[in-house]
Amino acid sequence: MLETTIAGSLPKPVWLATPGVLWAPWQLPPERLAEGQRDAVLLALRDQERAGIDVVTDGEQARRHFVHAFVEGLGGIDPTRRVTIGIRGDRYKAEVPSVVGPLRRTRPVHTDEVRWARANTERRLKFTLPGPMTMADTVADTHYRDRARLAMDCAAALNAEARELAALGVDVIQLDEPAFNVDAYFDEVKSWGIEALDRAIEGLACTTAVHICYGYGIRANIEWKRMLGSEWRQYERTFPLLAASRIDQVSVECAGSRVPFELLRLLEGKDALLGVIDVATERVETPEEVAATIRRAMEFVPPTRLCPCTNCGMAPLPREVARGKLAALGRGAALVRAELGTGATR
């Protein structure tokens, strides 16, 4: 119980990508990039293992952007036709590729990355993919003109990919759906977002998770959070829908957030990926602080259903800060496990 994991991304080594920059360009020439990414994955795995993280990821070392890495591997996308659009309810602008025809998965996208990560860790492995609604929100659509239809084709492509990744030994497939947390999208979440999510995980033999968060610690998100008032209740509308979905695990941003902990009750029957590490600050939590967040959550969720996690990806943080936060996550969970008399999880 209290098995630890991370949202997904970790900072990249300075020789691979410019530090401290989101979606940073690669520092290696194309002919040396794949080897550099593989080396970086080994470092990301070792850092998590040393910190005692139970379910590890590849740190997303082989992708610049959490949506475009997958999207640009699909048919129907023109990655060279890039357009700047407002995304997440126009919270910020992003340069995105264009949808120019029916979205189809014509080849595997992430299988080589998964084979490498799987071959290089004994721990359980999680792999992250963008959620269908977030995919549809992060492209310039010139073909469908209908977000629901676009998202359902995204879901079918995700499902084909996820089945292949699970067969390669991935233990957890996580879909990142920050679009679920955008107030302006709630009606769409209800009318087709959950259906698209369920379609993406249909028939998967592995554990499935959805990551919903308040974003990286970038300025647009910090300003958005300031406008959300004294209690952040966005989850209150999505959690009952997710509780009725097929997803196994749902992430919750609880470290340094204003999310009322009682909202965790709405996830009954699901595992909560409990955000106990704040990615919007470079201050490293103490293990005691992490333990305190876990204990608060245990008032509403049994420890067998809690997986201590980071609030969101740690890609934009300095590496030493991320390592410190990983260690705090591992030690904080161990403190509470010791109190419960269960000791190590393995």
Which residue matches tokens 């902990």?
261
Comparing CB distances to Zn ion, the nearer of 99 and 247 is 247
DSSP for residue 261: G
Element (H, E) at 101: strand 92-104
Comparing CB distances to Zn ion, the nearer of 182 and 312 is 312
Binding to Zn ion (CB under 5 A) within 109-168 occurs at: none
Comparing CB distances to Zn ion, the nearer of 297 and 312 is 312
Asked if 328 touches Zn ion (CB under 5 A), the answer is no
Comparing CB distances to Zn ion, the nearer of 255 and 312 is 312
Number of residues near Zn ion (by CB under 5 A): 2
User: With contact defined as beta carbons under 8 Å apart, do 44 and 62 qualify?
Assistant: no
Minimum distance of Zn ion from residue 105's CB (angstroms): 24
DSSP for residue 190: I
Which residue matches tokens 């990919």?
161
For CA atoms 90, 134, 270, 9, give the dihedral sign: negative
Minimum distance of Zn ion from residue 139's CB (angstroms): 19
Cβ neighbors of 320 (< 8 A, separation 6 or more) are none
Question: Of 144-152, 187-195, 281-289, 308-316, which part binds Zn ion (CB under 5 A)?
Answer: 308-316
Question: Of 57-65, 186-194, 212-220, 241-249, which part binds Zn ion (CB under 5 A)?
Answer: 212-220
Question: Of 76-84, 199-207, 259-267, 304-312, which part binds Zn ion (CB under 5 A)?
Answer: 304-312
Q: Please state, in angstroms and as integers, the Cα–Cα distance from residue 175 to each residue in 157, 179, 245, 344, following that order.
A: 13, 11, 14, 28
Comparing CB distances to Zn ion, the nearer of 153 and 176 is 176
Query: 3-class DSSP state for residue 185?
Result: helix
Minimum distance of Zn ion from residue 216's CB (angstroms): 7
Asked if 273 touches Zn ion (CB under 5 A), the answer is no
Question: Of 58-66, 110-118, 206-214, 289-297, which part binds Zn ion (CB under 5 A)?
Answer: 206-214
Asked if 196 touches Zn ion (CB under 5 A), the answer is no
Comparing CB distances to Zn ion, the nearer of 98 and 138 is 138
Residue of 169, 238, 165, 143 whose CA lies nearest to 197: 238
Q: How far apart are CA 174 and CA 151, in angstroms?
A: 17
Other CB atoms closer than 10 Å to residue 50's CB: what's the count? 12
Minimum distance of Zn ion from residue 22's CB (angstroms): 12
Minimum distance of Zn ion from residue 178's CB (angstroms): 6
Minimum distance of Zn ion from residue 313's CB (angstroms): 6
Minimum distance of Zn ion from residue 326's CB (angstroms): 16
* Angle subtended by helix axes 30-50 and 319-340, to nearest 10: 30
Minimum distance of Zn ion from residue 129's CB (angstroms): 13
Token readout for 245 is 């979905």
Query: 3-class DSSP state for residue 124?
Result: strand
Question: Of 186-194, 231-239, 268-276, 307-315, which part binds Zn ion (CB under 5 A)?
Answer: 307-315
Question: Of 64-72, 118-126, 129-137, 213-221, which part binds Zn ion (CB under 5 A)?
Answer: 213-221
Among 16, 213, 254, 284, binds Zn ion (CB under 5 A): 213
Q: Cα 294 from chain centroid?
A: 20
Minimum distance of Zn ion from residue 152's CB (angstroms): 23
Helical spans, DSSP H, in the chain: 30-50, 68-71, 111-119, 132-137, 147-167, 186-188, 194-200, 219-226, 234-243, 287-297, 319-340
Among 10, 40, 162, 312, binds Zn ion (CB under 5 A): 312
Q: Which spans of this chain sit near Zn ion (rule: CB under 5 A)? A: 213, 312
